[in-house]
Amino acid sequence: MNAIQRIIQFEIRGMSLVSGLTFFLGVPLFVAFIFGWNHVIVDRSTPLVLSLIFWAGLVMIVWLTSIAACHIAYHLLKKWEPRMIIVLLTGLAISTLALAWPMHAYSLWGRNMGRDALAPILYAPFALSFDYAFRLINGVLPGAFLWFGLNLFYDKALGIRRYSYQPDVEPEADPGSSRTADSNPAFMSRLPAATYGKLIAMKAEDHYVRVYTDHGNSLVHYRFNDAISDVSGQSGLQTHRSWWVREAEIVRMKTQGHRIHLVLSSGLEVPVSRSYLNSVKRSLDQLKSSREQAGQTGNPDVSPQTLH
């Protein structure tokens, strides 16, 4: 998996299709439409379509650069794990430095669009002066407020982790729900609120762990070995070098050719590798026996399953 794929996986973790499209396209393109419609810094003689195209390009360049810069800042600061606001400020500084020249040139082109703008876009003056700093800050602030506000809204209000290393508030256990101490290993606190629930299974995906719960699944930036260690006190088993499942969720074993899977109560099918097959079979025999005994005692919560 290359660096771009890792960045994409990190940025979309915990997002639904709607929240993802809103964050990466909806908000920036809406801003571009407002500025383009009003010909901001674009010559009034420029056709509306060109003004909209100009602003769509400008905003998307800034938006994608901000994402990359904050991603870099997140990993540079990981050793200290500062608050998310520090990561965002560091990312803003990186993106501002990276975009200072190209954004000046792009703005000059927009200001002169409709005329012969070839010469101005080739020259972007830089000066160590208060005037230059004021113009730079004045150009950065509006976008910075939007970027900060949206990231904070997603992280704090929607529970979709952006650039925070740990949540500010640990989820409280609710005796009437699935948020019990037994289903709350350390990494569970990193899940977005929408998918927080009873742990069903885990899958290693590069430097991330995909966590399956009774409310869905999402990626968390976590080492799989650390996740396995976190759930060592729970009734579960590793079926593959990249998979762990909760025993109580197993319904049956399924064999297709040389492929072996465990079918879970949620319908999820988890692969069983040859190196783990014997230990999985032993665990399933014990599980089947305990379920049969529980069924004989009349326990209504546990019944024998077709484990074979």
pLDDT tens digits, 133-142:
555 556 566 7
Using a pLDDT cut of 90, give the percent of the chain over it.
8
In which band, very low, low, confident or very high, does the pLDDT at 129 lie, cut at 50, 70 and 90?
low
Q: In whole angstroms, what is the distance from residue 238 CA to residue 272 CA?
A: 9
Given a cut of 60, is residue 177 above it in pLDDT?
no
pTM, two decimals, is: 0.50
**pLDDT band per the 50, 70, 90 thresholds, residue 253:** confident
**CB 72 within 8 Å of CB 94:** yes
Q: Which domains does the chain have, with CATH numbers?
A: 3-157 (no CATH), 187-296 (2.40.50.1020)
Helix (H/G/I), strand (E/B), else coil: 262: strand
Window from 18-22, 32-36, 229-233, 296-300 with minimum mean pLDDT: 296-300
pLDDT(147) > 80: yes
Q: What share of the chain is helix, strand, coil (3-state, %, to 5)?
A: 55, 15, 30
Which residues, including other chains, have CB under 8 Å from residue 253's CB and lie 6 or more apart?
260, 261, 262, 263, 272, 280, 284, 307, 308
